[in-house]
Amino acid sequence: MIGKGAAIFGCEGLSLTAAERDFFRDYDPFGFIIFARNVDTPEQLRALTASMREAVGREAPVLIDQEGGRVQRMRAPHWREWTPPLQAIAEAGDKAAAMMALRSKIIASELRAVGIDANCAPLADVASAETHAFLRNRCYGETAEGVTKIARAVADAYLEMGVLPVAKHLPGHGRSVNDTHHDLPTVTVDRNTLIENDFAPFKALADLPMAMTAHIVFAAYDGENPATQSPEMLRVIREEIGFAGLLMTDDLNMQALRGSLGERAGRSIAAGCDIALHCKGVLSEMQEVAAAAGEMSDAARLRAHAALAQRLTPKPVDIAELEADLSNLTGEGRHG
């Protein structure tokens, strides 16, 4: 069973307000997303995710950004702190994919324990020396081949552990020299370079259940609209990269996008995104996004069903054994 609303929403605090419950019940969004402002203790977080699902009367997916490294919403003392940043893991050579798979299984176990069943990872963006700092130390490497290998290991580990991976940021964020939280970057390299480098990891991961778009202009295809709102870039994602899963926007509050939140949501859905992602948790903003995003299209509903069908019950694992294996590879183990 899936919701009817073409959106994913956060909430304002550590528990749902009565107004949020009423809004979620009436709009019935596809799913929810957790941020640091929503996290205190394991008991509190379990209660929050349960109340989100109770509000819509079904097992709606609950997402989080728990990449490990700089971006992780659940932190010590209740959850593991992952160091060093992912960039350092990417420099581990032949061990990197195995290390990241183990990390991902441990992260997935922590997520499942508090009712979270989707993670906004892996990053399949190919970095370079020019990549903006907000993204650079979250990337898995500087070659399409290396990034693909690690991203596949991460995605497979999450799926094995019953957590849906959300690949990001289609069709490739690595050439961004701006922080899309504040500015709209324009990539000017030619199509062949994009296809052979930036798009290649996403093409290799095109079978994943869900993915997130990039708020970046690719001038070789569409010199005006960011990929999130570009019908041409959505065609590239679907037809050339071959991604057939559920496609959500990156956060609509990021200032790379122009116009009101309603306009941002409407343009993204009209371009071909399945789901509008709004993370801030402000009720009036969510109401505006909901009105513009509307209900999921028939095609989006089919993709949503297919995505949720990959949300499996994991087999029991020995976390201590996983940590020991990781420690043997990295000397990392548990931190915090």
Nearest to 140 by CA among 37, 182, 149: 149
Distance between the two ends of the chain, CA-based, in angstroms?
A: 38
Determine the Cα–Cα distance for residues 148 and 141; give it in Å rounded to an integer: 9
Catalytic pick among 117, 125, 198, 250: 250
The one-letter amino acid code at 173 reads H
Sequence-distant (6+) residues with CB within 8 A of 313 are 162
The residue assigned the tokens 């907000």 is 134
Sequence-distant (6+) residues with CB within 8 A of 128 are 142, 174, 175
Query: Quick check: 180 and 256 in contact, CB under 8 A?
Result: yes
HSE toward the beta carbon, residue 294, CA cutoff 13 A: 13
Listing DSSP states for 29-57 in one string gives EEEEEE-GGG-S-HHHHHHHHHHHHHHHT
Determine the Cα–Cα distance for residues 96 and 150; give it in Å rounded to an integer: 7
Q: Is 173 a catalytic residue?
A: no
CA angle at 204 for the pair 202 and 209, rounded to the nearest 5°: 70
Q: 3-class DSSP state for residue 58?
A: coil
Catalytic pick among 181, 182, 305, 335: 181
| Alpha carbon separation from 282 to 27, 52, 184, 289 (Å, rounded) | 15, 15, 23, 11
Beta pairing partners, 248 = 212, 275
Q: Is 181 a catalytic residue?
A: yes
Q: 3-class DSSP state for residue 297?
A: coil
Bridge-based pairing of strands 210-213 and 246-248 is: parallel
Query: Quick check: 163 and 86 in contact, CB under 8 A?
Result: no
Annotated catalytic residues are 181, 250
